[in-house]
Structure 1
Amino acid sequence: MDNLFTDSVERLFAEIATPEVIRLIEGGGRADALWQGLEDSGFLDVLLPEESEGAGLSLADVFPLFLLAGRYAVPVPFVQTLLARAWLHAAGIKAPPGSIAIAGFGVRQHGDALEAGTVAFGRVADWVLAQVEAQHVLLPVAAGRRELDSGHGSLNASLRWAAQPTDAVLIAADALPRIGLAALAAASHAPLLAGAASRVLELTLDYANQRTQFGKNIGRFQAIQNQISIMAERTWAARMAAQLACQGSGWEPGYLRAAVGKSRCSEAAAVIADIGHAVHGAIGITEEYDLQLYTRRLREWRLAAGTETYWARQIGTHLLQQSNHTALSFICEDISP
């Protein structure tokens, strides 16, 4: 992507998604002003074709934007909304205004009631794109009830509707894009994890080069260097996996690439968060220090849209079903052609 375009998005995030704004929203404040800034920017429709008032960019083109959203821990479903709008457009539906979370798992129907458990960004989203049994539907969050069931500062929420809202948007079964919502959600979270990991690595390197002990920076101690080298290795592996998840000539992620990206990024998330806190020591868990804004997102996004175990199982199952493939040919032909 053009650096000028990427730089514009980074300047926008630096202005409207500051640590102070993140803390305000995590504390229960409204995200309306932040979201309006994103709406006004015009970036939310970049995956749509130009004839539909989009920019006609591909998923690979916008990968740097997705990384930046993770690096700045943007506390609204920016990446999910871009992908959901493109998904809906491919299904012949114009997305309504507002932010869209993607519920890839955990949506159930009990009689007339609908329940979506632990939806990522469910606390701040305006809509939820979900599959309810065989029906795909876009549900207005305001018509339901939110239940905050996660830890401090979480943006997850479980949602419940007593009946299907009258303003819900139904998607016809014969118009569905190839990519399902589970893989779409996985592809949206992989670059978020990679971006947040890069920020944690940056904060950890800065701290290790500033904090002194026994007369020298702690970054000069071999034990610390070993830990940071592992952290850097995992961070760049996550970035490469996330980039793989966002490969393709169009807007649509590939199922297996999304699976690999989410699996690898989720696997790296816990290690990166643990090492970041180990190097920082006690200061890393304090409310005033920014590290916890990103490590909490790493842990939350690791669990969202399927953990590394779930997606590794999907990849393995797919491989075992391909009797004509070796593991190497499967990677070369199906995952990374």
Structure 2
Amino acid sequence: MRKNKAVFAEAVEDILKDQCTPAVVRAIDAGGSAAALWDAVAGAGFLALLAPESEGGADLSLAELFPVLSHFGHYTVPMPVAQTIVARALLASQMIMPEGMITLASAFRRETGGGITCAFTPYGLLADFVLACDGDALLLLPCAAARRQATGVNRSLTATLTWPDASSAARAPRGGALLPAFGAALHAALLSGAMSRVFEMTLQYCNDRMQFGKSLGKFQAVQHQLSVMAEHTAAASMAAEAAFQGAGKAPSLLAAAMAKSRTSEAAGLVASIAHALHGAIGVTEEYDLQLLTRRLHEWRMTHGSEACWNKVVGEQVLAGTLSIVDFVRSV
């Protein structure tokens, strides 16, 4: 059975190669419909990857889920598929599962007058529902009842959503404590997948681009930059994958914190090196690099930047009695 489950990552990639092309991503980023791409992914049953087999799901372990999420980042999927997979797992057996896209709230605030605000929600312009952490409980908020405010960043699908009150929300009593760790680990996986593609594109460009009679990749200064980029990409991938280890059904908060911290730290460095080595072509609308690096910068901040999660890791270190070396070994 474990061997059979490995094919899910391959099947996801096959669909994304065909359906999630740069042209499709550009169209959705520009405000076009995501229905066709959503139907292709949802229709193949990928939204139930974490659901038990008895309920028609694939019952994937966290380790088996990681390469699937990484592919979503690699192909810059412009809709909350990864978030919906996690949301459906958190809501399982607690309510009738809603149809449509569910995103995870990065922030949740109750206003003085009873309203609710979820600031800078990933895919807030597209999602049908927002799943938010309210203490130990979860709130499922319909986006149709909210006021959506775009960030103003060009082609960003992130938005701040505001509800006048909680009357339209459905409440699930469990799972709230798991959402922050899932949100951080999920975006670490997306970041690692996107960074791997950025590195592949940059390496290919440096090997193909000729300057002074030889390829850019033959210059020592360029090789140095590529090696730094490769180092951060590999470290980010290992940190992200580590968050999806273990027998549990949800990532641990500490592992997720370390993963999101390391991938967020690497994201800005990888993006800057990629643009430096590509030169002027890297910032053009027609070239695909910007589809990835825009998301690296956005996902770096989503569900906490490295500064946010470094504090969590530091508090864990200071609260224990282990030396820093033994702490790292224990994690």
TM-score (norm 1): 0.93
Relative distance call for 1:261 and 1:134 in structure 2 (3 A) is closer
- Pick aligned residue for 2:25 from 17, 22, 26: 22
The answer for the alignment partner of 1:67 in structure 2 is 70
**8 Å contact from structure 2 (residues 139, 171) kept in 1:** yes
Q: Post-superposition shift, 1:92?
A: 2.6
The answer for the alignment partner of 2:216 in structure 1 is 218
User: Is 1:125 the equivalent of 2:127?
Assistant: yes
Q: Name the SS for the 2:120 alignment partner.
A: strand
The 2-side partners of 1:70 and 1:285 are apart by: 20
Q: Name the SS for the 1:29 alignment partner.
A: coil
The 2-side partners of 1:159 and 1:94 are apart by: 23
Q: Name the SS for the 2:95 alignment partner.
A: coil
The answer for the alignment partner of 1:307 in structure 2 is 305
The 2-side partners of 1:217 and 1:94 are apart by: 58
Q: Name the SS for the 1:136 alignment partner.
A: strand
Alignment of structure 1 residues 86-165 onto 2, 5 Å? 86-89=89-92, 92-132=94-134, 136-165=138-167
**8 Å contact from structure 2 (residues 108, 116) kept in 1:** no
Q: Name the SS for the 2:249 alignment partner.
A: coil
The 2-side partners of 1:134 and 1:69 are apart by: 29
| Backbone CA RMSD of aligned residues | 1.6
Q: Post-superposition shift, 1:132?
A: 4.2
Q: Name the SS for the 1:110 alignment partner.
A: coil
The answer for the alignment partner of 1:318 in structure 2 is 316
The 1-side partners of 2:106 and 2:215 are apart by: 45
- The one-letter code matched in structure 1 to 2:185 is A
- The one-letter code matched in structure 2 to 1:131 is C
The answer for the alignment partner of 1:33 in structure 2 is 36
For residues 127-159 of structure 1, what are the alpha-carbon distances to aligned partners after superposition, in whole Å with 9 as ceiling and x for unaligned? 111134675301011111111114111121010
The answer for the alignment partner of 2:82 in structure 1 is 79
Q: Post-superposition shift, 1:330?
A: 2.3
Q: Which sits farther off after the overlay, 215-224 or 145-154?
A: 145-154
The percentage of counterpart residues that share the same residue type is 45
Q: Post-superposition shift, 1:106?
A: 4.3
The 2-side partners of 1:331 and 1:94 are apart by: 41
Q: Which runs of 5+ in 2 are unaligned?
A: none
The answer for the alignment partner of 2:273 in structure 1 is 275
Q: Which sits farther off after the overlay, 213-222 or 26-35?
A: 26-35
The 2-side partners of 1:104 and 1:292 are apart by: 24
TM-score (norm 2): 0.95
The 1-side partners of 2:242 and 2:118 are apart by: 29
Q: Post-superposition shift, 1:266?
A: 0.2
Q: Post-superposition shift, 1:95?
A: 2.7
The answer for the alignment partner of 1:43 in structure 2 is 46
How many residue pairs match? The answer is 328
The 2-side partners of 1:4 and 1:57 are apart by: 11
User: Is 1:197 the equivalent of 2:213?
Assistant: no
The 1-side partners of 2:46 and 2:121 are apart by: 24
The 2-side partners of 1:133 and 1:56 are apart by: 27
**8 Å contact from structure 2 (residues 100, 128) kept in 1:** yes
The 1-side partners of 2:137 and 2:252 are apart by: 22
Relative distance call for 1:143 and 1:85 in structure 2 (3 A) is same
- The one-letter code matched in structure 2 to 1:176 is G
